[in-house]
Amino acid sequence: MFKNVFGSGFLVRTAHVILTWVITLILFLHDTDLRKQEESGQLVQPVLFVLLVLVSVLLYFAVSLMDPGFILSDDNDALQFTLGTTEEQQDMIPPTSKSLRQRRCGHCLLQQQPMRSKHCQTCQHCVRRYDHHCPWIENCVGERNHRWFVLYLAVQLLVLLWGLHMAWTGFSAAATWPSWLRSNGMLLAVAALVALLSLTVLLLLGSHLYLVSLNTTTWEFMSRHRISYLRHCGADENPFDRGTARNLWGFFCAAAGSAVVWEQVYFREGSDPV
């Protein structure tokens, strides 16, 4: 289920964890509400804040190390496939059944690539319901970890906004700007960094919730003009859209490990193939 912790993403993950706890420590060392409550014996808010930071770190590692839905290569016959066409533009290989079509991946020698899957050049695997490869977690976001990625973003945003509020409570007054910067410079740098990260995570969370409500992925949204099973659809047509409520329910509440056969959704009974 989990990849090697000491793989290519070890430095990124270590930097993320160190930065998280350094910022948390700075918030406790300065004269913020967290420190004031800790010194006065009111430990509820400081403990909750630390626990929430810990949860965000654990979710980060879970999403970062989780199998996003890798598809193992199944047959060396894929070597016979022509590699001159980009994967996105390959027509879905027509089998004997008219309603189910799969294509081959010329990169990892996967003979039958399920619909909505894509080969990740960084991970060197095809990923089910591929969304994107995230350098922040050094892992793909796909069918198995996408919902956990969204949950991580939500928790991380809550931690960042809470931390930004705590940083704001720690600024002290001074007679002159130079003296104010000397006493608040470190906290100001932390507040600026947390504000920037908050905006980034807010935009990421908003965009992912929007795409999930439409039952589309970042890859499909950005590259639909190149993807063989979408490029013939209209600009507002999404063959996987089952309505906002069902899209959200299927994304957040589907049984863990259950794989949707997207070919059956794409070729709905009674509808014309796109």
**Active site (catalytic) residues:** 134
If one counts every other C-beta atom within 10 angstroms of the C-beta of residue 44, the result is 8
CA dist., res. 4 & res. 36, Å (int)? 41
Angle between helices 146-169 and 177-214 (to 10 degrees): 160
Residues linked to residue 198 through DSSP beta bridges, in sequence order: none
